[in-house]
């Protein structure tokens, strides 16, 4: 398969791909904008942000930016997460507006993923999505159109039989190597923010259905309730008590896992600062200073913002730590408008 290579310079390995990697899976993303594959890769290698991905696929071609034997920061599950440290990241382009260009990009991505599965001797179980590692709704447009539908596209390229109903829980799959299988109703007393346990772990009382199994993970079972992922658990946390816990604790944990305050306004865009700005752990000048910053010539892709203390605070999930970060991006006037931005929003 023809792949255009535009590999990041080894001088940027320290921030883009600092670790050697023996990949065990593919992680699918949507770019959330309308740039071509070449532009996506060029943008990535031109900045110093800890955000990176191995391939970008548009409607015409596949472009590689990170060698497959190096890790990338894309899954939001921390410095030792399975997604970040073992996943080949594939970004599908043109997902912001969708339409024919996105459909063609998705079709080419399915063909490319099938090619990779054959090349490495993997099966469809090695195809995962960003959401499996950090609960971010990504690949957003692919999920909107149906994740099983996309897996079916890959299986068709492999010449395999596909599942006909994405809404029906899959049958028990002992090939996962874990005790429980997808579609199994469970109760659990433990929920982790992500599958590798690098985020917070909560104790309580929850019920749901196993929506995903990641073999070998510290918390291999994703717990779904009413179609929403509420966290990850393991064999120790699962019990056979047939009770059905109330929904209040589940909702509380879901709010924590989303990691956004009630006044959070979702917006997917890129900010280009024109001054040096500190990165904090909370949207307040009293928030813990991470010691990191963004300055002129750099950029950050954010997923929302709040208005507090007379400022606009943009926010995003750090690819290297899996934690939410905050940064002032402008000054509000008396009517609550950002009349003095600290850079450009695109």
Position 250 scores a pLDDT of 42
* Residue 239, pLDDT above cutoff 80: no
Position 182 scores a pLDDT of 79
Q: What residues does each domain of the chain span?
A: 4-158, 185-258, 265-345
Residue partners of 279: CB distance under 8 A and separation at least 6:
289, 290, 292, 293, 294, 325, 326, 327
Whose tokens are 């890790």? That residue is 71
pLDDT digits (tens, 9 = 90+) for 111-169: 999 999 999 999 888 999 998 887 688 999 999 899 999 999 999 999 876 554 333 33
Encoded tokens for 307 = 């208005």
Position 59 scores a pLDDT of 96
For residue 256, name the pLDDT band (cuts at 50, 70, 90).
Answer: very low
- In terms of Cα–Cα distance, which of 319, 334, 325, 238 is closest to 290? 325
CATH number corresponding to 265-345: 2.30.30.40
- Give the CA dihedral 241, 242, 247, 252, nearest 10 degrees: 20
CATH number corresponding to 4-158: 3.40.80.10
Report the alpha-carbon distance of residue 211 to residue 143 in Å, rounded. 14
**Backbone phi and psi for residue 74, each to the nearest 5 degrees, phi listed first:** -150, -25
For residue 110, name the pLDDT band (cuts at 50, 70, 90).
Answer: very high
The DSSP code sequence of 82-124 is HHHHHEEEEEES-TTT-SHHHHHHHHHHHHHHHHHHHHHT--G
Mean pLDDT over the full length of the chain: 83
- Residue 223 and residue 191 in contact, taking contact as beta carbons nearer than 8 Å: yes
In whole angstroms, how far apart are CA 121 and each of 113, 194, 214? 12, 27, 18
């Amino acid at each position: 398969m023809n792949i255009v290579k535009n590999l990041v310079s080894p001088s940027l390995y320290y921030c883009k791909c600092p670790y050697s990697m023996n990949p065990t899976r593919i992680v699918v993303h949507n770019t959330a904008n309308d740039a071509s594959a070449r532009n996506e890769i060029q943008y990535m290698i031109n900045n110093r942000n800890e955000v990176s991905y191995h391939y970008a696929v548009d409607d015409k071609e596949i472009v590689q930016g990170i060698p497959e034997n190096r890790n990338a920061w894309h899954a939001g599950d921390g410095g030792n997460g399975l997604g970040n440290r073992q996943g080949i990241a594939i970004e599908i382009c043109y997902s912001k507006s969708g339409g024919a260009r996105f459909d063609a990009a998705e079709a080419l991505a399915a063909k490319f993923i099938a090619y990779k599965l054959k090349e490495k001797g993997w099966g469809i179980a090695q195809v995962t999505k960003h959401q499996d590692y950090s609960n971010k709704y990504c690949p957003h447009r692919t999920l909107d159109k149906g994740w099983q539908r996309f897996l079916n596209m890959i299986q068709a390229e492999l010449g395999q039989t596909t599942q006909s109903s994405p809404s029906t829980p899959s049958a028990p799959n002992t090939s996962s190597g874990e005790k429980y299988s997808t579609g199994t109703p469970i109760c659990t007393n433990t929920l982790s923010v992500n599958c590798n346990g690098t985020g917070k772990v909560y104790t309580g009382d929850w019920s749901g259905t196993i929506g995903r199994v990641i073999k070998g993970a510290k918390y291999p079972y994703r717990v779904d309730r009413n179609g929403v992922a509420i966290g990850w658990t393991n064999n120790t946390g699962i019990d056979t008590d047939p009770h059905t816990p109330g929904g209040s604790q589940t909702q509380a944990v879901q709010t924590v896992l989303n990691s956004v305050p009630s006044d959070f306004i979702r917006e997917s865009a890129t900010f280009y600062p024109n001054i040096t700005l500190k990165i904090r752990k909370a949207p307040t000048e009293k928030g813990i200073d991470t010691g990191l910053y963004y300055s002129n010539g750099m950029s950050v892709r954010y997923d929302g913002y709040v208005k507090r203390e007379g400022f606009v605070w943009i926010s995003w999930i750090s690819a290297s730590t899996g934690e939410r970060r905050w940064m002032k991006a402008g000054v509000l006037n008396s009517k609550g408008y950002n009349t003095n931005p600290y850079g450009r929003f695109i």
